Amino acid sequence: MSDPTRFLTAFSQALSTAGLYGDDHPATARSVEAAVERLQELQSTAPRLEFTFLPGEVLFGSEAVPELERWEWSTRFIKAGVERIEFTDGVSPDQFGRFLVQLAIRLGIRSGSSGDLWQMGGSSIKFGQVTLGQNGSAPK
């Protein structure tokens, strides 16, 4: 299993667990911690990471991730308006946790308002729909 696949698998498990049990459950804490660890492992060689979710495939940077062809979460992310996730630098566990909650709300697996501001100030996590511009694609 490739490192991007390991991260996205842990990430989807953390989303599922957070939606099922809520923030304070030990299973949620363990799954979020595992996802953060996979993210940190992936960022150890390059802190800037880009995931693009397309119908039927996932891109890591500009490369397709064959293990995630027809990955159900890709479709779920697209339907929630999340076609791309970028990590521009290291991410703190607290920041990652807030992002996870916001995404779980957008996906409809957790109650809350998706209009709520998920972060205060700048963030090294960006997500949204893909737009085409002069320099290629970037999140809105």
pLDDT digits (tens, 9 = 90+) for 115-139: 554 454 578 999 988 876 655 545 5
- Dihedral sign computed on CA atoms, order 60, 66, 67, 69: positive
Residue 1 or residue 26, greater confidence: 26
Query: Is 50 exposed, middle or buried (CB count within 10 Å of its CB: 0-12, 13-18, 19+)?
Result: middle
Return the bridge partners of 105, or none. Answer: none
Q: Would you say residue 140 has pLDDT above 80? A: no
Average pLDDT over every residue of 35-39: 96
Residue 135 or residue 20, greater confidence: 20
pLDDT band (50, 70, 90) for residue 1: low
Residue 5 or residue 2, greater confidence: 5
| Sequence-ordered strand ranges (E) for the chain | 49-54, 57-60, 63-64, 84-87, 125-128, 130-133, 136-139
Please write the tens of the pLDDT for every residue from 45-98. 889 999 999 999 999 999 999 999 999 999 999 999 999 999 999 998 888 988
DSSP state of 67: G
The predicted pLDDT at position 88 comes to: 93
